[in-house]
Structure 1
Amino acid sequence: MPVQPGAPVGVFDSGIGGLSVLRALQAELPHERFVYLADTAHAPYGERGDAFVAARTHAIADHLQAVHGIKALVVACNTATAAAIHELRARHPALPVVGVEPALKPAVTATRTGRIGVMATRGTLASAKFGRLLASLQGQAEFLIQPCPGLALAIEGLVASDVDAAAQAARVEALCADAVAALGSFGDAPGQIDTLVLGCTHYVFAEPVLRRLVGPAVQLVETGAPVARQARRLLAQAGLLAADGAPPALALLATGDPRQLQAAAARWLAAPAGTAQAVEVPLP
């Protein structure tokens, strides 16, 4: 049976970071139904190998198609996009698939000093996909690259029920401060970094901290809005946009304890209580 415009859009990440992309999708596509799956039982992907991440990506895509009948898939994770997006598209040629990548191209357009900082996970920075993206922009700006081990997991901990909230916030701030210090001088003067790419979807939720650290003159660039616009384009091309006035809906699924996803969605998406549910997605 052909997919109908009323079918949901699938969105997934290893954890809660992809909620920043989902937030942008909801703003761009207010009449769509969304199913968000957080693979929290196997997070964070940024510290995993490509083969493991690719296997999880394919299992989740298969599950979202078989169980929820999705009409499109947004891979709201830089690491999963880098590890699996090409094979995913080959395996599901009829499914519109949108991935994410660190927003280096928008940063080149935005920078005035020509110096761009990039914060991302080790997995993203080590990927061939990121290497090709960086190589394609050589000569257009100077990129200063900073891996941020532990930061995505620390941001996840901001909504964990079993940690001290103040201590966790201090840990996020310390990790951000270390990354900013390692990158160098920020500002809009010649020789300073005036644009910072948030190369992991989780990092958007640390934006207030990063803003305090780098100052008001620095532009923070993330991928949510461009991804949402691309999703709209692909759905429109396929004739799959939900009708104006269709009631939006959101299902939240987690392979681990759903309480953390629920808390994050309540904090950052104003999702009602009881929205998140547990789900099993075994490898085939």
Structure 2
Amino acid sequence: MTQPYLPIGVFDSGIGGLSILDALLQALPHEHFVYFSDAGHAPYGERNDAFVQLRCQQIVQQLLTEHAIKALVVACNTATTVAIEALREDFPVLPIIGVEPAIKPAVRITQTGHIAVLATERTLQSGKYQRLRQSLSTSVRVDDIPCPGLASAIEANDTAAIERLCRHFLVQALRPSAAPVDTVVLGCTHYPLVLPALQRLAPPQLRFVDSAAAVARHTALRLQAQRLLRPPAAGNAQARLPLTLRTSGSLPCLQAAAQRHLHAGAALHGDEPDALPAHPANA
């Protein structure tokens, strides 16, 4: 099989990367995607750097060995922060795209000059994030709001906990100030999955931004530049390839999450569990 016809790998510590995958499916409707959820080892935010780097290396190797992926999207802020440079060294031929909190777009659209970033504490404390902040205009105030527990509640689909935590963190983000926050960055790929809850709790003028669309555009440009774009199926420009789901955790849970959160018309690959094996941690 020639390279353009090979699949694109996408992975996250859990279901959060589905927010990135949804944007990828919309931007690249003719591509075949393989999504890997490392739910058996989530959350990465509670693991040390060496563990996260090893898991990422193992996942990429598995995606290459079993699916011969032509490109990789690291759809996890923690994995991007901790492991993406090592992955690029280990797999130099593979195009690897990461994610980062969408602070730059937020800075461009804020009218009050005051934004807030909702993210995991691990992301907010990372050197990569701090360098991103330092690159910004000093005329914009950025409030970092760590959100412990929110990603785990989203993984568990715990609606009561999601509602309580979203309310709590929005109260922190919207504390009264001379120049009120008018833009909130969703700095974890899990958080866009509960955007309706956030919008319901927020004042109507508050804007939320995330990195999914930008990651999808960048992925498309990388594939185009390297002549890796898959052409539409002959005679059917609207044909969409099935989505392959893999996980180190519960496959039925991942399938249910994909059904809830993907809106781009992706068909899940296979109906029987044997068609979508949940590989052991060290596979």
Structure 1 unaligned residues grouped into runs of 5+? 159-167
Determine if the alignment matches structure 1 residue 264 to structure 2 residue 257. Answer: yes
C-alpha separation in 1, matches of 2:50 and 2:203:
39
Letter of the aligned partner of 2:190 in structure 1? H
Q: TM-score, normalised by structure 2?
A: 0.91
Determine if the alignment matches structure 1 residue 173 to structure 2 residue 160. Answer: no
Alignment of 1:237-248 (within 5 A): 237-245=225-233, 247-248=240-241
Question: Shift of residue 124 of structure 1?
Answer: 0.8
Structure 2 unaligned residues grouped into runs of 5+? 234-238
C-alpha separation in 2, matches of 1:155 and 1:119:
14
The corresponding residue for 1:119 is 118
Q: Please, what is the CA RMSD of the aligned residues? A: 1.8
Letter of the aligned partner of 2:145 in structure 1? Q
Question: Shift of residue 248 of structure 1?
Answer: 1.8
The DSSP-based 3-state class of the residue aligned with 1:197 is strand
The corresponding residue for 1:98 is 97
Alpha-carbon displacement from aligned partner over 1:71-127 (angstroms, at most 9, x marks no partner)? 000000000000011111122111111000100111111111110010001111111
Percent identical among aligned pairs is: 48
- Please tell me whether the aligned partners of residues 40 and 281 of structure 2 are also in contact (alpha carbons under 8 angstroms): no
- Please tell me whether the aligned partners of residues 118 and 186 of structure 2 are also in contact (alpha carbons under 8 angstroms): yes
- Please tell me whether the aligned partners of residues 254 and 279 of structure 1 are also in contact (alpha carbons under 8 angstroms): yes
The corresponding residue for 1:249 is 242
Determine if the alignment matches structure 1 residue 184 to structure 2 residue 190. Answer: no
- Please tell me whether the aligned partners of residues 77 and 99 of structure 2 are also in contact (alpha carbons under 8 angstroms): yes
| Range 242-251 or range 69-78, more displaced | 242-251
The corresponding residue for 1:31 is 30
C-alpha separation in 1, matches of 2:87 and 2:11:
13
Letter of the aligned partner of 1:263 in structure 2? A
Question: Shift of residue 140 of structure 1?
Answer: 4.0
Determine if the alignment matches structure 1 residue 195 to structure 2 residue 183. Answer: yes
The DSSP-based 3-state class of the residue aligned with 2:14 is coil
Question: Shift of residue 277 of structure 1?
Answer: 3.4
The corresponding residue for 1:161 is none
Q: TM-score, normalised by structure 1?
A: 0.91
In structure 2, relative to structure 1, the CA distance for the partners of 1:99 and 1:140 (3 Å cut) is farther
Question: Shift of residue 47 of structure 1?
Answer: 2.2
Determine if the alignment matches structure 1 residue 216 to structure 2 residue 204. Answer: yes
C-alpha separation in 2, matches of 1:27 and 1:140:
35
The DSSP-based 3-state class of the residue aligned with 2:3 is coil
In structure 2, relative to structure 1, the CA distance for the partners of 1:183 and 1:31 (3 Å cut) is same
- Please tell me whether the aligned partners of residues 3 and 69 of structure 1 are also in contact (alpha carbons under 8 angstroms): no
Alpha-carbon displacement from aligned partner over 1:40-64 (angstroms, at most 9, x marks no partner)? 0001112222221111111111111
The corresponding residue for 2:53 is 54
The corresponding residue for 1:279 is 279
